[in-house]
Structure 1
Amino acid sequence: MTKEQLQAAFRDASTKASDLNAKLNNMVQDDSASVEDIKKAQDDLTDAKTRRDILNSQLKSFEDVEPEPKKPGKKTNILDNKAAELAAKKQGINDFIHSRGAKISDAVASQVTSSEVGVLIPEEIIYDPSAEVNSVVDLSTLVNKTPVTTPSGKYPILQRATDRFNSVKELAENPALAEPTFKEVDWSVDTYRGAIPLSEESIADTQVDLTALVGQSIGEKKVNTYNALIAPVLQAFTAKSTTSDTLADQVKHILNVDLDTAYARVIIASQSFYNAVDTLKDKNGRYLLQESTASLAQASGKTLLGVPVYVIGDELFGNAGDQKAFIGDTKRGVLFPNRQEITLAWEDSKIYGRYLGAAFRFGVKQADDKAGYFITNTATPASGSGE
């Protein structure tokens, strides 16, 4: 199959899995539905998800995986093996949930993190294209996420060189160059954790795939946590004020003059700031905000003056109605030391139920303070009014 055919088949499989999941949810809540019908619907959903996962693995490996040479009399399929391994992990976590931590299959045994029985959720299980909430931008994907093995440390940032090489005569001694200068950023990680309550009744009675439900909920909460910690770091960059009547010119000045040409550029805008730039036009009456066609994977789908635009809720940068934005290089500007991924662990509860705990450890720190600016835009003052 070609890549385009794989993409079409994956979309069809994702739609089918979503429809079957909705059908199964309705059947579980319908007292007239028989056990046999529910079991058949659950088997159909499992088959649909398995096909979707296989297609997803084939898409991811379309360009990267080189097929192994076939041996005479033996057929091998790397993609099927990878899909089967992922399905086994998903089933293992689902069994772990349903058994309240008592059943740990071989597929997830290596992921037990402590004597308290915690299981690491594989990233490929949390990421489910059919269930992803695309309206929420994950700011952690835009910053410098660095794996760390200690709870704190120093991270060196190489300052831009200002000197240059000099011409010398043949066989002359090399002139000395200035030593590179580093800015050390102190960082530390904190632990963020919580628990999702699951009643004994829901564990015993629910026929749907709890892995998908719990994974989606934890994934959404993780994004909310990341965004809440990254937003204040972006707000701490050098402040600039703009007004709506000259907003386009002022943004151009920041991009063209204020930011060093070595920095990459993105715009992370509050909804109200985005609304302010959505109607900006050039002298020929053409909108400055354009649909992005450079990359189908572009999360925002919009560019302003050629720069990708990502939209977040007003409250992350202040209050409802605030027109605020970060303009600059988030990779150079923000350090994200990542210590530990999400884990699940059953905990004792005084209620008739259990808590499915989740925890992850990370930190967020400003790295290069010259990598961007934080903009606050205000409406144009009325004619005749003071500033």
Structure 2
Amino acid sequence: MNNDDVEKRVTPEAALDAATAEPETPPDDSADTDSTDADSTPKTLSGYAVVFNTPSKDLGGFVEVIDPHAFDNVDLSDVYMVSNHDFSQVLASTKAGTLTLNVDDKGLHFDATLPDTTIADDAYTNVQAGNLSAMSFTFVAAPDGDTFTKDDSGQVTRTINQVKSLFDVSLVAIPAYDDTSVEASDTTVAQRSYTNWLKKNTENPEKGKEATNMTEKTIIDPAKTTESRAYEDYIRSMGEKRDGLTTTTAGAVVPKEVINDIWDLKQSDYDLAKYVTVKQVGTPVGTYPIALVNNGTLATKAEMDDIGEVDATLFRGVDYKVQTRAGKIYLSDELVEDSEVDIVAEVKSQLKKLVQNTDNANIISLLTGQDANKNDNFKHIAGTTLDDLKSTFNVELDPALSLSVIVNQDAFNYLDTLKDSEGRYILQPNITSPSGKQLFGAPVIVISNKVLPTVKTGTYRILVGDFSQAVFLAQKNEVDTQWERFDSYSQGLAVVVRNDYEVVDPDAARIVDITPVAATPKA
């Protein structure tokens, strides 16, 4: 038996029944012999090892059904019933007459009389208790005994029209093909047939489009069959035949040999979305209501007069419109398979970083930019000394705000070198601040010059405000996706975010540009 041709299939609808056979009526002289012990009464199992016209689970891009005529003219005279496809655990056989197989309208029915063994007793007890209820069978399909079809929804179905040989029916706990890694040899022939069908459709100009558009997910195990190896080599080499293919001789297989963990270059890691207001929204377009600063007063009312309307605007809405932002990357399956690191996990991590970078860029753009009418989103203040910055804290911003400071590297260096008249540094230590420093009691957040560029040499931009009240991030959803690209033997990864960034309160932040006056040299 060629193991490469053997396939195993589970039959969840096995309808297993456990029964105790009725003992034969003893002869008249039975009184002279010992009565039959109840424990020695033969135990039987019955059910269906194969069910016709019932789709299997996904076998790697296709499902499978057994045609009612698949067992026509099949020799069933030497078939074993075993436990878990282990021929050292035989339960019955057609050759010994302890296993009967019959084909009916539903499928391949069996009746088995079990031997008086521990293995058989355990199997019977598990079936009777309901622990085991599925059957599996091992077979070889006849040459050209299977066909593949695809319906309008894209579902590919393999139909077994003719079985060549049936080797065993098996009582199983965990079916082999339930394992999604599909490393066992039991689906080799299905893989080869499916591969040939795909190749035939691809080589046929009339069906090439169909094969390209379908969801091509195969279950090739190159360690099992030469056909699988040949097909994989074809994919790897773009049709070029090469012998002695290795990772050092084939640039098409792996661009570079990866032997160590991925080296993550050190860089500042900050997430400005932590400092603004993030709201999960249910619709892509909407209005976020906010209560305005209330400076109104109540009017005096004469006795019996109507109550007057409040002369103040108490609420307004911040309109938002969610936009879709996305990015994708393709990895060759050769790179994924041959890398000694989890390259897919690393790419997902980098895609997550892109989301953070997108948030940072849009928040900074909102804080430093202008609206559609060319008006500054937040007021700009020009100054020359530290006193101008202190005035922003004391006068420009409401005392109730929880202030923070955002600076780039240049501005941080300027502030970090300032001293008062007694030689004490202006920036004070603060272990709860992202930078470890605070300015006038407000935590300092330092971001790179790349994210917040210095507008003019010698001028230092300092953002001061309550950024949770200044900026609103409307977040609809974030989706990570991964898919196979069978036609190029690769896989794609993508991240998609749907969100919007809006100003909530223009009075909650200020942009201060400090241009220190150079000291006049002494005469």
**Shorter-chain TM-score range:** 0.5 to 0.7
Kept in 2: contact 1:347–1:357 (CA 8 A): no
**Which residue is 2:379 aligned to?**
238
Q: How does 1:59-208 map to 2 (within 5 A)?
A: 135-164=268-297, 181-208=314-341
Q: Is the 8 A contact 1:349 1:355 kept in 2?
A: no
Alignment CA distance shift 1:309-1:101 (3 Å): farther
Q: Find 1:281's aligned residue among 416, 419, 436.
A: 419
More off after superposition, 157-166 vs 222-231:
157-166
Distance 1:132 1:366, change over 3 A: farther
CA gap of 1:155–1:284, structure 2 versus 1, over 3 A, is same
CA apart distance, 1:261: 1.2
Name the counterpart of 1:313: 448
In the superposition, relative to structure 1, how do residues 212 and 163 fare at CA in structure 2: closer, same or farther (>3 Å)?
same
**Identity over the aligned pairs, expressed in percent?**
31
1:180-225, Cα deviation, whole Å (9 max, x unpaired): 5222211111111111221111222234334641332122211111
Q: Distance in 1 between matches of 2:496 and 2:484?
A: 13
Bigger mean CA deviation after superposition, 207-216 or 281-290: 207-216
Distance apart, 1:349 and its partner CA: 7.8
From 400, 409, 429, the counterpart of 1:271 = 409
Separation (CA, whole Å) in 2 of partners of 1:349 and 1:215: 20
**Pairs aligned (count):** 253
**Structure 2 match to 1:29:** none
Which structure is higher in RCO with an 8 Å CA cutoff and minimum separation 6?
A: 1
Looking at structure 2, the residues matched to 101 and 284 of structure 1 have their Cα atoms a distance apart, in angstroms, of 74
> Structure 2: 5+ residue runs without aligned partners?
1-180, 182-214, 219-263, 370-377
Q: Within 5 Å, which residues of 2 pair with 1:251-270? A: 251-270=389-408
Is residue 155–residue 185 contact of structure 1 (8 Å, CA) maintained in 2? yes
Alignment match, 2:355: 222
Structure 1 counterpart of 2:403, one-letter code: R
8 A contact 2:326–2:496 mirrored in 1: yes
Residues of 1 paired with 2:508 and 2:413: CA distance?
Answer: 25
- Does residue 1:302 correspond to 2:437, yes or no? yes
Contact 2:478 2:495 in 1 (8 A): no
**1:303 CA drift (Å):** 0.7
On the 8 A contact 1:347/1:356 being kept in 2, the answer is no
1:370 corresponds to 2:510: no
Which AA in structure 2 matches 1:336?
L
Aligned-pair Cα RMSD in Å? 3.4
Contact 2:418 2:425 in 1 (8 A): yes
Q: TM-score, normalised by structure 1?
A: 0.58
Matched with 2:242 is: none
**Paired residue secondary structure (1:186):** strand
Indicate if the aligned counterparts of 1:145 and 1:338 stay in contact, CA closer than 8 A.
yes
CA contact (8 A) 1:345 1:358 kept: no
Partner Cα distance (2:497, 2:461) in 1? 29
**Secondary structure of 2:411's partner?**
helix
Offset from partner CA, 1:60-119 (integer Å, 9 cap, x none): xxxxxxxxxxxxxxxxxxxxxxxxxxxxxxxxxxx9xxxx9979xxxxxxxxxxxxxxxx
Task: Please say which of residues 146-155 and 370-379 is displaced more in the overlay.
Answer: 370-379
Q: Do the aligned partners of residues 102 and 310 (structure 1) sit closer, same or farther apart at CA in structure 2, a change above 3 Å counting?
A: farther
Matched residue, 1:17: none
Q: What is the CA distance between 1:291 and its match in structure 2?
A: 1.9
Matched-pair contact (CA < 8 Å) for 2:328–2:492: yes
Between structure 1 and structure 2, the one with the greater Rg is 2
2:313 and 2:412 map into 1 onto residues whose CA distance is 40
Mapped partners of 2:494, 2:216: distance in 1? 12
Contact preservation (8 Å) 2:406, 2:447: yes
Gapped regions of structure 1 (runs ≥ 5): 1-94, 104-130
User: Structure 1 residues 220 and 166, CA, compared in 2 at 3 Å: closer, same or farther?
Assistant: same
Secondary structure of the corresponding residue to residue 241 of structure 1? strand
Q: 1:227, 1:316 within 8 Å by CA — same for their partners in 2?
A: yes
The 1-side partners of 2:434 and 2:341 are apart by 30
Q: 1:183 to 1:133 in 2, by over 3 A?
A: farther
Listed as ranges, the matches of 1:346-361 within 5 Å are: 346=483, 348=485, 351-361=488-498
Q: Which residue of 2 aligns with 1:87?
A: none
Which structure is higher in strand share? 2
What's the secondary structure of 2:450's corresponding residue?
A: helix
Is the partner of 2:286 in helix, strand or coil? strand
The 1:133–1:218 alpha-carbon spacing in structure 2 relative to 1, beyond 3 Å, is farther
Q: Which amino acid aligns with 2:418?
A: L
Change (3 A) 1:216 1:291: farther
Q: Per the alignment, in what secondary structure is the counterpart of residue 215 of structure 1?
A: helix
Match of 2:462 in 1: 325
Does the aligned pair in 2 maintain the 1:235–1:317 contact within 8 Å? no
Q: Specify whether residues 102 and 162 from structure 1 end up closer, same or farther in structure 2 by C-alpha distance, changes over 3 A only.
A: farther
Q: Counterpart in 1 of 2:133?
A: none
